[in-house]
Chain A
């Protein structure tokens, strides 16, 4: 592998990593607060992608980037209501119940998508999709560059929200000490629902950024779930910084591995890095005991 190719590979990896970050941030937020793995994450991403597709389709014709605030708000509302109306209500406060409910939601969402949208693959074709930016030997298609920059910007915005807003502080308080937060008057159930809503809102944003260069079908969300789980664990469960660094790291490892060992064998780089990091730092890169 020449230096030029390695450089282009790293750039490609960073572009992919940007999207992984956004998907993983939602997952890690939900884990950090609710202490459960959201098994419905891939299915929710798929539903959001259908949302982008139908907004783009005539007669609405909404550009996916213009649709971003709509999808973020809509996904937040959907996640919030879903938690309030279903997950929170039927979990009876037990984490294992939440786990099973999200698993059930995933199955229902996938099959509902097959039922309503059929198994057909849908894409959107935006006029600027063919533009690109040259960075040395790397050629970056415009949709991927936009998705990378927007992902990092959204992560930064979310980080600021968590650090400085009252709601963000309440979320962090609930994540650290549920009982204590309740004692100081925080509506813990509401914070759970808000956290779940924000996690799903991240997927709404990811869907808008993905659709100009990816596709949606009832199973397309799952392509990102396993890698997002890996990033969350590798970065440290519940850690924003971990999701950010982990996402970019996994993107680069996947890309360079693919270039060096081929697209199939190159995938081995992800579990290899995963095992190595957990071997020396069992709580993940930024995790705490």
Chain B
């Protein structure tokens, strides 16, 4: 996979196989669009290669499915049924490549960007897009810095790590009720993990927990034996984790193999906390908790999409439904703006009251580009299933805390 932009070329590749089958229908018909309204080019910038390739492929899957659905439903009606056309970009999990994708897509006449999964890539790519005043919708990327630089072109539906930390700490406090006194935080050393760890260390004292040690690690990390040793030595009540998928899984597995006994393992935006991890490593994941983005289990649309994704052989991970939602938000703004002109589209996004049907969100309201209606869920792995334990209105199980001792 090079960093080149590919429009409609998705069907020739099996990368994101499922996306392919699901998306090919609409993306394969640009030729007939000439007779219709001009297609609106949407730049999808995700890391479909590199160390977070899986996450990026999931993002792409969700976004291309949404484009397919919107086009099937008649496109953007206020623009004469204009179809959305995906320009597929690969950031290769690298900041500089993400920025070059922005530049290339700008040359290709993109109306808006959606991306980027990784916070550092999102920070740089949104800055690059700001030069052209092109709207940039963040589907996944946790850092709050992304929306705190006064860039008028940046919009994020999902909550950032600040909100996720606040809600996670509140949920942990409610479960602990003062029983847990100490924690060790293990985080990846990029913007996402470092930022989250700083927030956690600052907020844990509010619920009577002291962060005894903060352990940063590289991506990728070959082993966590020493981290496990340091955790065993510190003997905390809670282990808090903030890592991307591979390291999340490796750390959890190492702590399990090294019999680290704690009251709870709690992550905020845990990159590896998904159906696959919970099902395939049920022993390792048992009782682990995560504050993360979660779909609305009571939404018929979400359940139908989940079925389609799973039928195509993929997992219904947060990347899928957040990217789907970002495309839907863009389509709604285009519909109201009646144009893909950048100022009009930016204004339509800024004033959006879009209802994110897939998500358990309140009404959309952007303040400085951040949606105020987004809320994360708190999940726990119980017997190979992911159960929502907070907020109460969406919960499917009662949390087990503290976890039973490992022998």
Pair B16/A118 contact, Cβ less than 8 Å: yes
Residues of A within 8 A of B226 (CB): 9, 12, 255, 258-259, 263, 266
A9–B217 alpha-carbon span in the complex (Å): 17
Q: How far is the CA of A72 from the CA of B215 in the complex (A)?
A: 37
Residue in contact with A213 in the complex, picked from B1, B56, B257, CB distance below 8 Å: B257
Q: Is A116 an interface residue (CB 8 A)?
A: yes
Q: Which residues of B contact A143 (CB under 8 A)?
A: 257
Task: Pick from B31-39, B242-250, B296-304, B363-371 the stretch touching chain A.
Answer: B242-250
Alpha-carbon gap, A263 to B7, bound state (A): 42
Known: A123-B281, A263-B216, A264-B216. A219 touches B51 (CB 8 A): yes
Of B68-76, B134-142, B227-235, the stretch lying at the interface with chain A is B227-235
For chain B, the bracket of interface size reads 35 or more
**What are 12 A-B contacts with C-beta separation under 8 Å?**
A115-B13, A115-B15, A118-B14, A119-B52, A119-B53, A125-B284, A132-B257, A215-B250, A262-B215, A263-B216, A263-B221, A267-B218
Q: Output the nearest chain B residue to A115 by Cβ-Cβ distance.
A: B14
Interface size on A, residues (CB 8 A): 42
Q: Please measure, in the bound complex, the distance between the C-alpha atom of A128 and the C-alpha atom of B250, giving whole angstroms.
A: 17
Q: Which listed residue, A12, A111, A130, touches B229 by the CB 8 Å rule? A: A12
Cross-chain contact B246 with A215 (CB below 8 angstroms) = yes
- Please tell me if the beta carbons of B222 and A119 are within 8 angstroms of each other in the complex: no
Q: Are B49 and A132 in contact (CB-based, < 8 A)?
A: no
Assess whether B17 is in contact with A118, with CB atoms less than 8 Å apart: yes
Q: How far is the CA of A7 from the CA of B222 in the complex (A)?
A: 20
In Å, the complex CA distance between A264 and B214 comes to 12
With A118-B16, A119-B48, A123-B249 in contact, do A129 and B216 touch (Cβ < 8 Å)? Answer: no
Residue ranges of A at the interface with B (Cβ–Cβ < 8 Å): 5, 8-9, 12, 15-16, 111, 114-116, 118-121, 123, 125, 129-130, 132, 139, 141, 143-144, 213-215, 217-220, 222-224, 227, 255, 258-259, 262-264, 266-267
Number of A-B contacts (CB under 8 A): 122
Are the C-beta atoms of A141 and B54 separated by less than 8 Å? no
Interface residues of B (CB under 8 A from A): 1, 13-17, 48-57, 189, 215-218, 220-223, 225-227, 229-230, 232-233, 245-246, 249-250, 253-254, 256-259, 272, 276, 280-281, 283-284
Complex: A111 Cα to B14 Cα, angstroms: 11
CB atoms of A130 and B256 under 8 A apart: yes
Given contacts A144-B225, A217-B54, 4 further A-B contacts (CB under 8 A): A114-B49, A119-B54, A141-B258, A219-B220
Measured between alpha carbons, how far is A120 from B249 in the docked complex, in Å? 12
| B contact residues around A121 at 8 Å (CB) | 54, 245-246, 249, 272
One of B13, B233, B257, B281 near A141 (C-beta < 8 A): B257
- Chain B residue at minimum C-beta to C-beta distance from A143: B257
Q: How far is the CA of A259 from the CA of B14 in the complex (A)?
A: 43
Known contacts A9-B226, A121-B246, A129-B257; is-contact A220 B57 (Cβ 8 Å): no
**Is there an interface contact between A255 and B225, defined as CB atoms closer than 8 Å?**
yes
Contacts of A219 in B (CB 8 A): 50-51, 53, 220
Known: A115-B14, A118-B15. A16 touches B222 (CB 8 A): yes
- List 7 A-B pairs, minimum CB-CB distance, nearest first: A119-B53, A119-B54, A141-B257, A12-B225, A263-B217, A258-B226, A223-B220
Give every chain A residue within 8 A of B215 (Cβ-Cβ).
Answer: 262-263
